[in-house]
């Protein structure tokens, strides 16, 4: 068994059991429902801000965008303004495409090598990672937005509308929310890829499996509460409103499954800033994407640029003067 | 290359499926054919870089300074503060694997540690161990160290770094595909800076930078010899065209200073490209009175300092502006080179500017303002020539290149660090009739490296170079077989040397040519005699029979 994923899996199970047993057996609702969520949110906000500030505190000495298209040069050569932007607007659009549509990932190809008489290397478009990633992130986004209904009273109309769209496929009662299903399916796809694709498996760390298992656990417990155990939704809202209004309450009739869900969410929050999940913030600060390719037109300043030793022309001429004169090369000093 | 692997043996070795197990448990084996020799002590001394001494990568003892671990730790720390790229790229990789099969070295060797993500993880694992909270928390629980994906710095780790960061050509292809723009070149650059603090450069980089610093160019060609070499070309050109192109050197008050990689002066087939420049400048002088000078002091466009450290890059690059200022030219024109142009385009003005002693570059013949170069004041020769052609300022006879069936190789640096894609194609298509592109996933921003960039074009690492160049060669082979392509055009001096060897190995029958070699063939000089041969002294199309008689 591969401990790179068995240990994180066991860890997530342990979290689930801890909360479930803690609530059902020992009655630690206050710990898993109040103390830990508050601490987790504090850790998340502090950690996230801290990490972003820490990145922002590092200098950007050179303007080094990765150019993925034709540069701006002569007026009659068509520039690729998005993949090789030379203006702030171009950069903004490039970043929008990166952040909302995962443009770079969209380019993904799959290489194959056939050892036969032709020995051809071929590259085919590989869309599944892009699709999986997009489904995962947008599924998650809609799920999070939908959960805002637990924290807002009255529930804004836009949220009700989002719910309406999310539940447009109606099968039975309660109506199915697509986002939760998409999130779970996409997370399982990403997990399967990590385990079964030899290359991805080889590079994966425990830190890659842990958040996946955690999110799968969160989605699974959420789905279980909504469709199967039918959690006391009024009690849950009472609980969440208590948290946001800083008058926490422990409603009766909400069971261990809910607290397991809350604990896993809390762990995800607290874990976020110290993990690779910070790619969510990092993408905004990635210098190869968020800079304009105009260094020859507009001087970029390096805040720590320092003077260096150079071999000057005078030193050079002093060294070679005789040979230069003999060869008929002009010199600054005749002797 | 008889003692090295045959193409078939090399192909047999390729397997893109990594074995099971943990990469951290796979020890590094520094294998002949895959690594470059250690820097000679005297070359390291020229620039006053640390720990100059004789050493051998295959020895157990690398003769490191006693506090080498501390040096590395402090160097990482300092670079995390100085380079946001480094810091962000250490933190945000999700190991999605999109970059894995984008690296030419991975495609050519199948070595999983050549997957860009894993190359970065070699360093990231130590970063996690030394600099992240998560690892420090996990270390407190038993067995937690393994969970964090971190590892402490050891001599074996350093050797692994050295082996694999000298198997990266800083081509940035992975960065095109990374959803966060993580650029392995940036990580390789940091690793190599660290190596140089310990005296761990390779000689193929250290000796060129030493020469470049002292004598002005990588090959250590002294001023009189530099002039003589170009005068040899002048003789050759006179024999072919009947015109003396009269190059000028170190001329004060010239309009333009021209700088190109010294490889063009020294090594075939770059020399033919150099002759192309000479013919172009003669033409412009006679027709339009444009005054171009060469410099023996700034006689190197290339900058192997870029493969050493940011500081060394700056020290070597400083000569360009210094010489332009001394000669009092209006602006600088740069020849065909790859990494030279990444340095000029993305670094030079920041490092050694502002170039306020130069004028905003204007082509005096066409009146075109090179708006994109108005601060750096250095123009790429294909931008310049494309502008001349567009305005009908060059008289060209394409038929002299009619026997060339062309394809074009984008060099990594000009495509992914600049975006110079259509200018060279425009020039090519105006001096040559037969042009075929390689498949779309292998050109433009997705172009494959020659396998020898970033100072790895030595002789002793031939297996690495041929393996790394396989994806490029494979695409050339495709157009060679499909369209009969016989010439590979390029605008990079390392390409001209490296691709020639690569073609000989993988696609015999394809020659490598700079774009301005073809310009030189096609350009009709005022007062020239009827040419019978091209710049390589091969008969021009239609002249073959006369030769036989």
Peptide bond into A95 cis (omega under 30): no
- In chain B, what residues touch A275 (CB-CB under 8 Å)? 134
Checking if the pLDDT of A135 tops 60, the result is: yes
The answer, as to whether pTM is greater than 0.80, is yes
- The reply to whether residue A110 touches residue B101, judged by beta carbons under 8 angstroms, is yes
Give the model confidence (pLDDT) of A58-113 as tens digits.
Answer: 999 999 999 999 999 999 999 999 999 999 999 999 999 999 999 999 999 999 99
Q: Specify the 3-state DSSP secondary structure of B405.
A: strand
Question: Are residue A324 and residue A236 in the same domain, yes or no?
Answer: no
Average pLDDT over residues A103-129: 94
Q: Which two tokens stand for residue B475?
A: 């695409």
The reported pLDDT for the residue numbered B1 is: 45
Question: Are residue A125 and residue A185 in the same domain, yes or no?
Answer: yes
Q: Are A105 and A283 in contact (CB under 8 A)?
A: no
DSSP 8-state assignment for residue B34: S
Residue A290: band (very low, low, confident or very high) from pLDDT cuts 50, 70, 90: very high
- The reply to whether residue B92 touches residue A304, judged by beta carbons under 8 angstroms, is no
Peptide bond into B269 cis (omega under 30): yes
- The reply to whether residue A205 touches residue B373, judged by beta carbons under 8 angstroms, is no
- In chain B, what residues touch A299 (CB-CB under 8 Å)? 349-350, 353-354, 375-376
Cα(B353)–Cα(B333) distance, integer angstroms: 16
Give the model confidence (pLDDT) of B286-310 as tens digits.
Answer: 999 999 999 999 999 999 999 999 9
- The reply to whether residue A62 touches residue B419, judged by beta carbons under 8 angstroms, is no
Cα(B336)–Cα(B324) distance, integer angstroms: 19
Question: Which range, of A194-203, A218-227, B19-28, averages the lowest pLDDT?
Answer: B19-28
Give how far B547 is from chain A: nearest CA, Å: 37
Select the residue from B98, B438, B449 to test the A interface by mutation, using most A Cβ atoms within 10 A. Answer: B98
Torsion sign, CA atoms B55, B58, B61, B62? positive
- Per-residue three-class SS string for B409-441: ECCHHHHHCCCCCHHHHHHHHHHCCEECCCCHH
Average pLDDT over residues A31-44: 96
Q: Are A253 and A236 in contact (CB under 8 A)?
A: no
Average pLDDT over residues A156-162: 91
Rg of chain B on CA atoms, in Å: 24
Question: Are residue A134 and residue A266 in the same domain, yes or no?
Answer: yes
Nearest residue, CB atoms, B375 vs list A57, A113, A298: A298
Peptide bond into B541 cis (omega under 30): no
Question: Are residue A134 and residue A32 in the same domain, yes or no?
Answer: yes
Give the model confidence (pLDDT) of B63-85 as tens digits.
Answer: 999 999 999 999 999 999 999 99
Q: Are B351 and B506 in contact (CB under 8 A)?
A: no
Distance, C-alpha B353 to centroid of its chain: 23
- What's A179's domain CATH number? 1.20.950.20
- Counting the structural domains of chain A, the total is 2
Give how far B111 is from chain A: nearest CA, Å: 11
Q: Which two tokens stand for residue A22?
A: 């803690």
Q: Work out the percent of chain A whose per-residue pLDDT is above 90.
A: 87
Question: Are residue A12 and residue A30 in the same domain, yes or no?
Answer: yes
- The reply to whether residue A296 touches residue B374, judged by beta carbons under 8 angstroms, is yes
Torsion angle, CA of B450/B455/B458/B463, rounded to 10 degrees?
-50
DSSP A23-58: IIII--HHIIIIIHHHHHHHHHHHHHHHHHHHHHTS
Report the candidate in A188, A180, A183 with the shortest Cα–Cα distance to residue A137. A183
The reported pLDDT for the residue numbered B549 is: 45
Question: Are residue A38 and residue A89 in the same domain, yes or no?
Answer: yes
Residuewise pLDDT in 10s, chain B (549 residues): 445 789 999 999 999 988 878 899 899 999 999 999 999 999 999 999 999 999 999 999 999 999 999 999 999 999 999 999 999 999 999 999 999 999 999 999 999 999 999 999 999 999 999 998 888 888 888 777 777 888 999 999 999 999 999 999 999 999 999 999 999 999 999 999 999 999 999 999 999 999 999 998 888 899 999 999 999 999 999 999 999 999 999 999 999 999 999 999 988 899 999 999 999 999 999 999 999 999 999 999 999 999 999 999 999 999 999 999 999 999 999 999 999 999 999 999 999 999 999 999 999 999 999 999 999 999 999 999 999 999 999 999 999 999 999 999 999 999 999 999 999 999 999 999 999 999 999 999 999 999 999 999 999 999 999 999 999 999 999 999 999 999 999 999 999 999 999 999 999 999 999 999 999 999 999 999 999 999 999 999 988 765 554
DSSP 8-state assignment for residue B150: -
Which residue of chain B has the CA closest to A4?
B147
Nearest residue, CB atoms, A61 vs list B18, B80, B82: B82
- In chain A, what residues touch B475 (CB-CB under 8 Å)? 121
Give the model confidence (pLDDT) of B487-514 as tens digits.
Answer: 999 999 999 999 999 999 999 999 999 9
Cα(B400)–Cα(B32) distance, integer angstroms: 44
The reported pLDDT for the residue numbered B137 is: 83
The reported pLDDT for the residue numbered A42 is: 97
Nearest residue, CB atoms, A299 vs list B86, B349, B378: B349
Give the model confidence (pLDDT) of A232-286 as tens digits.
Answer: 999 999 999 999 999 999 998 888 999 999 999 999 999 999 999 999 999 999 9
- The reply to whether residue B370 touches residue A73, judged by beta carbons under 8 angstroms, is yes
Give how far B271 is from chain A: nearest CA, Å: 21
Question: Are residue A312 and residue A185 in the same domain, yes or no?
Answer: no
Question: Are residue A173 and residue A48 in the same domain, yes or no?
Answer: yes
Checking if the pLDDT of A1 tops 50, the result is: no
* DSSP β-bridge partners for residue B396: B523
ipTM for this prediction? 0.94
Give the model confidence (pLDDT) of B106-143 as tens digits.
Answer: 999 999 999 999 999 999 999 999 998 888 888 888 77
Q: Are B330 and B256 in contact (CB under 8 A)?
A: yes
Cα(B467)–Cα(B7) distance, integer angstroms: 9
Give how far A27 is from chain B: nearest CA, Å: 27
- The reply to whether residue A58 touches residue B81, judged by beta carbons under 8 angstroms, is yes
Question: Are residue A49 and residue A106 in the same domain, yes or no?
Answer: yes
Question: Are residue A288 and residue A314 in the same domain, yes or no?
Answer: no
Residue written as tokens 């030793």? A309
- In chain B, what residues touch A64 (CB-CB under 8 Å)? 85, 183, 186, 346, 417
- The reply to whether residue B311 touches residue A308, judged by beta carbons under 8 angstroms, is yes
Cα(B29)–Cα(A112) distance, integer angstroms: 27
The residue range of the domain holding A191 is: 3-304
Cα(B514)–Cα(B337) distance, integer angstroms: 10
Give how far B545 is from chain A: nearest CA, Å: 36
């Amino acid at each position: 068994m591969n401990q790179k994923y068995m240990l994180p899996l066991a860890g997530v199970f342990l979290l689930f059991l801890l909360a479930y047993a803690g609530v059902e057996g020992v009655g630690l609702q206050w710990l898993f429902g109040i103390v830990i969520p508050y601490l987790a949110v504090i850790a998340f906000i502090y950690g996230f801000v801290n990490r972003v500030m820490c990145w922002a505190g590092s200098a950007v000495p050179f303007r080094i965008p990765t150019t993925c298209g034709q540069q701006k040069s002569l007026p009659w050569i068509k520039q690729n303004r998005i993949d090789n932007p030379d203006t702030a607007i171009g950069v903004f659009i490039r970043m929008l495409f990166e952040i909302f549509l995962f443009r770079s990932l969209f380019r993904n190809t799959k290489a194959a090598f056939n050892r036969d008489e032709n020995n051809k290397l071929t590259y085919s478009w590989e869309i599944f990672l892009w699709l999986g990633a997009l489904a995962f992130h947008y599924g998650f986004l809609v799920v999070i937005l939908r959960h805002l209904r637990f924290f807002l009273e009255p529930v804004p109309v836009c949220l009700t509308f989002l719910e309406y769209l999310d539940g447009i496929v109606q099968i039975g009662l309660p109506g199915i929310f697509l986002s939760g299903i998409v999130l779970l399916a996409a997370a399982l796809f990403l997990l399967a890829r990590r385990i079964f694709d030899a290359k991805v498996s080889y590079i994966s760390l425990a830190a890659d499996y842990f958040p996946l298992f955690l999110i799968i656990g969160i989605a699974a417990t959420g789905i279980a509460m909504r469709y199967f155990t039918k959690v006391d939704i009024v009690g849950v809202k009472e609980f969440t409103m208590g948290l946001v209004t800083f008058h926490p309450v422990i409603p009766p009739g909400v069971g261990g499954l809910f607290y397991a869900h809350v604990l896993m969410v809390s762990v995800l929050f607290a874990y976020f800033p110290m993990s690779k999940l910070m790619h969510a913030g990092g993408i905004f600060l990635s210098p190869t994407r968020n800079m304009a390719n105009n260094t020859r037109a507009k001087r970029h300043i390096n805040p720590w640029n320092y003077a260096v030793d150079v071999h000057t022309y005078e030193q050079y001429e002093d060294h070679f003067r005789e040979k230069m004169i003999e060869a008929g090369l002009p010199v600054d000093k005749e002797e | 290359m008889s003692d090295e692997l045959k193409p078939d043996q090399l192909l047999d070795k390729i397997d893109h499926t990594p074995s099971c197990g943990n990469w951290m448990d796979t020890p590094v084996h520094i294998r002949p054919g895959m690594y470059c020799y250690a820097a000679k002590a005297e070359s390291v001394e020229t620039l006053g870089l640390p720990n100059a001494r004789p050493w051998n990568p295959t020895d157990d003892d690398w003769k490191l300074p006693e506090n080498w671990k501390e040096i590395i730790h402090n160097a990482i720390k300092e670079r995390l503060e100085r380079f946001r790229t480094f810091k962000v790229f250490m933190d945000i990789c999700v190991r999605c694997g999109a970059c894995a099969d984008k690296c030419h070295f991975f495609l050519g060797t199948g070595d999983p540690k050549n997957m860009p993500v894993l190359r970065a993880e070699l360093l990231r694992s130590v970063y996690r161990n030394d600099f992240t909270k998560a690892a420090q928390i996990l270390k407190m629980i038993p067995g937690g160290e393994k969970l964090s994906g971190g590892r402490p710095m050891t001599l074996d780790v350093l050797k692994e770094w050295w082996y694999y960061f000298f198997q990266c050509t800083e081509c940035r292809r992975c960065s095109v595909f990374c959803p966060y723009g993580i650029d392995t070149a940036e990580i390789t650059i940091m690793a190599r800076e660290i190596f140089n603090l310990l005296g761990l450069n390779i000689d193929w980089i250290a000796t060129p930078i030493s020469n470049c610093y002292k004598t002005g160019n990588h090959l250590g060609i002294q001023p009189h010899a530099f002039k003589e070499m170009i005068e040899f070309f002048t003789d050759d050109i006179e024999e072919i065209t009947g015109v003396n192109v009269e190059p000028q050197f170190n001329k004060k008050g010239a309009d333009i200073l021209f700088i190109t990689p010294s490889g063009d002066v020294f090594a075939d087939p770059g020399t033919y490209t150099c002759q192309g420049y000479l013919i172009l400048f003669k033409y412009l002088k006679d027709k339009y009175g444009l005054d171009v000078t060469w410099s023996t002091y700034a006689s190197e466009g290339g900058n192997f300092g870029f493969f050493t450290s940011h500081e060394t890059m700056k020290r070597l690059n400083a000569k360009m502006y210094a010489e332009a200022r001394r000669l009092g030219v209006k602006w600088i024109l740069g020849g065909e080179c790859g990494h030279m142009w990444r340095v000029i385009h993305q670094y030079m003005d920041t490092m050694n500017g502002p170039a306020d002693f130069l004028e905003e570059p204007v082509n005096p013949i066409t009146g075109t303002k090179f708006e994109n170069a108005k601060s750096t004041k250095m123009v790429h020769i294909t931008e310049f020539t494309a502008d001349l052609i567009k305005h009908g300022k060059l008289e060209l006879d394409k038929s002299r290149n009619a026997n060339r069936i062309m394809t074009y190789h984008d060099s990594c640096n000009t495509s992914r660090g600049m975006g110079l894609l259509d200018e060279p194609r425009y020039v090519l298509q105006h001096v040559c009739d037969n042009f075929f592109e390689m498949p779309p996933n292998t050109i433009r921003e997705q172009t494959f490296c020659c396998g020898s960039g970033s100072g790895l074009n030595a002789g002793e690492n031939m297996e690495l170079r041929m393996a790394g160049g396989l994806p490029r060669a494979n695409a050339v082979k495709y157009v060679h077989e499909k369209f009969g392509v016989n010439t590979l055009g390029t605008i990079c001096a390392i390409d001209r040397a490296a691709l020639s060897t690569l073609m000989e190995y993988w696609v015999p029958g394809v020659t490598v040519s700079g774009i301005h070699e073809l310009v030189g063939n096609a350009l009709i000089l005022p007062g020239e005699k009827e040419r019978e041969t091209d710049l390589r002294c091969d008969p021009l199309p239609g002249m073959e029979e006369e030769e036989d008689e």
